Amino acid sequence: MEEMHSKHLRLPTNVLVLVSSSGFTRSAIEKARQFGIATAVPGEIEPGRFGTEVVGKLDAIWMKSFTLTVGKVRLWVEESADRPAEIVVPFLDTSLFFEDGDFAMSAQDLAQGFMSSVDLENDAMRDALGDEEFFTIGRDPATAIEPESGEAVDLYLKKEEPTGNYLRKITRIEITGPAEVTVAEIPLTHRELNGTGYSAGAAKLGDRAVLVVATETPSGETSLTARFGAP
């Protein structure tokens, strides 16, 4: 307890609370009082007391990590007066342009930007089991954010021909590549402390330890946090 008190003095905190699931001895409570430390003992959660879908209800939650690597990019370009629509497989360093002909980004930059903004609330990721080896994701329209206006604008692929260079509008992007999916089951324990219900669990996700805590206050405010350890 002295060690925790000394550590607390060096941190920008104003309250130190020690929690023990097995309770405190009388001498420990007296020493805590002398140091100005609060003590608390969590209790069992009453069935149906909390309305969240996690606290007091789930035996475990599943956490997943995804490592997706760009392997191949395919671009759909629209038809023009004398050229049919087609699918182009560019090199990753192929230049893409804005409508006025100014350079916008490379095909790899477009792919990486798209992947970083993928909505994780999708069926494929939710249902992943960990044995997936490849992925395919697509989007249309294949737009980008214009730096000055901040608005989504169309991108174009330059077609070089003897009669001149032509910009062809990109209507869709599709990315494929290797996928590494890691899945971990995290068993939960449920307790109540000073009116707030909480569920906590820990497990290994790949080579990293992960701690998950879900809480619900008496007023119905909920939170779910995850803390990852170093690999």
The arrangement of strands across the sheet holding 189-193 comes to 189-193, 196-205, 208-216, 222-228
Backbone angles phi, psi at 111, to 5 degrees: -65, -45
pLDDT digits (tens, 9 = 90+) for 55-109: 888 899 999 999 999 999 999 999 877 788 999 999 999 999 999 899 999 999 9
What 8-state DSSP symbol labels residue 100? T
Arithmetic mean of pLDDT over the chain = 87
Peptide bond into 141 cis (omega under 30): yes
Q: What percent of the chain lies above the pLDDT cut of 90?
A: 43
- For residue 164, pLDDT beyond 70: no
Q: Which residues of 49-73 are buried (b: 16+ CB within 10 A; e: fewer)?
A: ebebebbbbbeebebeebebebeeb
- For residue 5, pLDDT beyond 80: no
Which residue, among 113, 109, 112, 91, has the nearest Cα to 158 in the 3D structure?
Answer: 91
Least confident of 10-24, 59-73, 90-104, 189-203: 10-24
Element (H, E) at 134: strand 134-139
What 8-state DSSP symbol labels residue 23? -
Spatial contact of 157 and 144, defined as CB atoms under 8 Å apart: no
Instruction: Provide the pLDDT confidence category of residue 1 given band limits of 50, 70 and 90.
Output: low
- For residue 201, pLDDT beyond 70: yes
Instruction: Show the tokens assigned to 177.
Output: 């590549």
Distance from chain centroid for Cα 15: 31
In this prediction, residue 125 carries a pLDDT of 87
In this prediction, residue 94 carries a pLDDT of 94
In this prediction, residue 162 carries a pLDDT of 61
Q: Which residue would you say has higher pLDDT here, 229 or 19?
A: 229
Instruction: Provide the pLDDT confidence category of residue 163 given band limits of 50, 70 and 90.
Output: low
Backbone angles phi, psi at 164, to 5 degrees: 140, 175
pLDDT digits (tens, 9 = 90+) for 37-52: 888 788 888 777 787 7
In this prediction, residue 173 carries a pLDDT of 94
Q: Which residue would you say has higher pLDDT here, 4 or 201?
A: 201
